Amino acid sequence: MNDRRGLSAIALLTLVACGSSQGKNPYLPTTGTGGTGGSGTTTPSGTVVVAFLSPPTPSDGSTLASNSDLPIGVTVDIVGGSDFVAAGSVKATITETGATAPAVTGQLVAASADIFNGTIGLGSLKLGSYTLTVAATSSGGAVGQASIGIVIDNGPAVSVSSPIAGKAYNGSLTVEFTADFGASGPSTASPNPSATVGGLPVQDLMVDSSPNAAPNSYRGTVTFDAYSPPLTGVQLLDVKATNANGVLTDVRVLFGIDNTGPTITLTTPTTGQVVGGVINISATITDDSGVFDSSVIAIIGDQNNAVFNLPLAPEGAGVYGVLFDTANLTRCVAPPATSLCLVFPTISFRASDTLGNQTVLGYDFSVDNVAPVADLDPPPIRDVRVGTNGYECSFAFDPLSVNRDVGDMPNDGCLVPQVFDLRARIEDDGNRASGLKVVPIAGIDPNNTSVYVLHDIGQPLVVDSDGDGNCDEINPLLVPTTDPPTMANQVLKIRLAGVPPAGTADFEPDKSLVGNSTCAQGSDATPPPLLCNFEQPTIAISYAGDEPAVWSVEPIDSFRCLGNQFDALANNIPEGWACIAIQTVDQVGNKGVSVPMRVYIQYDDAGGFCGLPPAGAGPPPTCTGTFTASSDPTVSGVAAVGACNARKFTGTDYCYLGDCPGP
pLDDT per position as a tens digit, 273-311 = 999 989 999 999 999 899 999 999 999 987 666 679 999
- Which CATH number, 3.30.70.1560, 2.60.40.10, 3.40.50.620, 1.50.10.10, labels domain 47-153? 2.60.40.10
Residue 64's SS3 state is strand
Q: What is the pLDDT of residues 351-370, one digit of tens each?
A: 999 999 999 999 999 999 89
Residue 404, judged by CB atoms within 10 A of its CB (0-12, 13-18, 19+), counts as: exposed
Which of these, 89, 80, 154, lies nearest to 124 by C-alpha position?
A: 154
Q: Which residues pair with 353 in a beta bridge?
A: 291
The answer to whether residues 326 and 276 touch, using CB atoms and an 8 Å cutoff, is yes
Res 389 pLDDT > 60? yes
- Tallying the residues shown for the chain, one arrives at 663
| 458 confidence band (pLDDT: 50, 70, 90) | very high
The answer to whether residues 193 and 201 touch, using CB atoms and an 8 Å cutoff, is no
Structure confidence at residue 1 (pLDDT): 36
**CATH class, range 267-367:** mainly beta
Which of these, 287, 291, 566, 522, lies nearest to 387 by C-alpha position?
A: 522
Res 39 pLDDT > 80? no
Contacts of 608 (CB under 8 A, 6+ apart): 405, 406
The answer to whether residues 153 and 62 touch, using CB atoms and an 8 Å cutoff, is no
Is pTM beyond 0.85? Reply is: no
Res 175 pLDDT > 50? yes
Q: What is the pLDDT of residues 509-525, one digit of tens each?
A: 999 999 888 899 999 99
Structure confidence at residue 5 (pLDDT): 32
Residues of the chain with CATH 2.60.40.1220: 267-367
| Residue 652 CB neighbours (<10 A) | 12
Catalogue the E-assigned strands of 522-623: 539-540, 542-543, 547-548, 550-553, 565-567, 576-585, 591-593, 597-601
Which of these, 586, 541, 571, lies nearest to 423 by C-alpha position?
A: 541
CA pair distance 529, 639, nearest whole angstrom: 48
Res 13 pLDDT > 60? no
The answer to whether residues 547 and 587 touch, using CB atoms and an 8 Å cutoff, is no
| Residue 480 CB neighbours (<10 A) | 14
CA pair distance 31, 278, nearest whole angstrom: 109
| 639 confidence band (pLDDT: 50, 70, 90) | very high
Q: What is the pLDDT of residues 73-112, one digit of tens each?
A: 999 999 998 899 998 999 999 999 999 999 999 999 999 8
| 471 confidence band (pLDDT: 50, 70, 90) | very high
Dihedral, 267, 271, 273, 277 alpha carbons, nearest 10: 50
Termini Cα distance of the chain = 96
Residue 307, judged by CB atoms within 10 A of its CB (0-12, 13-18, 19+), counts as: exposed
Which of these, 356, 360, 223, lies nearest to 298 by C-alpha position?
A: 360
Which of these, 257, 205, 203, lies nearest to 235 by C-alpha position?
A: 257
Q: Which residues pair with 321 in a beta bridge?
A: 282, 313
The answer to whether residues 502 and 657 touch, using CB atoms and an 8 Å cutoff, is no
| 662 confidence band (pLDDT: 50, 70, 90) | low
CA pair distance 445, 414, nearest whole angstrom: 30
CA pair distance 433, 332, nearest whole angstrom: 10
Residue 221 dihedral angles phi and psi, to the nearest 5°: -125, 140
Res 29 pLDDT > 50? no
CA pair distance 440, 632, nearest whole angstrom: 39
How far is the CA of 476 from the CAs of 20, 116, 581, 626, in angstroms? 116, 105, 14, 10
For CA atoms 608, 611, 616, 622, the dihedral sign is positive
Secondary-structure percent of the chain, ordered helix, strand, coil, rounded to 5: 0, 40, 55
Residues of the chain with CATH 2.60.40.10: 47-153, 157-257
The answer to whether residues 206 and 121 touch, using CB atoms and an 8 Å cutoff, is no
CA pair distance 488, 568, nearest whole angstrom: 16
Structure confidence at residue 305 (pLDDT): 65
The mean pLDDT value of the chain amounts to 89
Number of H helices and number of E strands within the chain?
0, 53
Structure confidence at residue 301 (pLDDT): 82
Average pLDDT on 446-471 reads 96
Res 170 pLDDT > 80? yes
Residue 379's SS3 state is coil
Contacts of 642 (CB under 8 A, 6+ apart): 460, 622, 624, 625, 626
Q: What is the pLDDT of residues 556-588, one digit of tens each?
A: 998 899 999 999 999 999 999 999 999 999 999
CA pair distance 12, 158, nearest whole angstrom: 38
Structure confidence at residue 9 (pLDDT): 32
- Which CATH number, 3.40.630.30, 2.60.40.10, 3.40.50.920, 3.90.1010.10, labels domain 157-257? 2.60.40.10
| 22 confidence band (pLDDT: 50, 70, 90) | very low
Cα 32 to its chain centre, rounded Å, is 91
More confident residue, 129 or 19: 129
Res 249 pLDDT > 80? yes
Exposure class string for 547-566: b at 16+ Cβ within 10 A, else e: bbbbbbbeebeeebbbbbbb
Structure confidence at residue 323 (pLDDT): 96
Average pLDDT on 128-148 reads 94
Residue 448's SS3 state is helix
Which of these, 266, 66, 288, lies nearest to 168 by C-alpha position?
A: 288
Q: Which of 40-44, 53-57, 219-223 has the lowest mean pLDDT?
A: 40-44
Structure confidence at residue 286 (pLDDT): 97
Which of these, 149, 206, 150, 215, lies nearest to 182 by C-alpha position?
A: 215
CA pair distance 366, 436, nearest whole angstrom: 12
Name the pairing type of β-strands 248-257 and 576-585.
unpaired
CA pair distance 238, 58, nearest whole angstrom: 28
Three-class DSSP labels, 435-460 = CCCCCCCCCECHHHCEEEEECCCCCC
Residue 121 dihedral angles phi and psi, to the nearest 5°: -80, 135
Q: What is the pLDDT of residues 192-215, one digit of tens each?
A: 999 999 999 998 999 999 998 999
CA angle 89, 90, 95 (to 5 degrees): 115
CA pair distance 448, 172, nearest whole angstrom: 60
Judged by phi (left if over 0) then psi (alpha if -120 to 50, else beta), residue 284 lies in: beta
Q: What is the pLDDT of residues 649-658, one digit of tens each?
A: 998 889 999 9
Average pLDDT on 471-498 reads 96
H or E element that contains 392: strand 390-393
| Residue 27 CB neighbours (<10 A) | 11
Structure confidence at residue 31 (pLDDT): 30
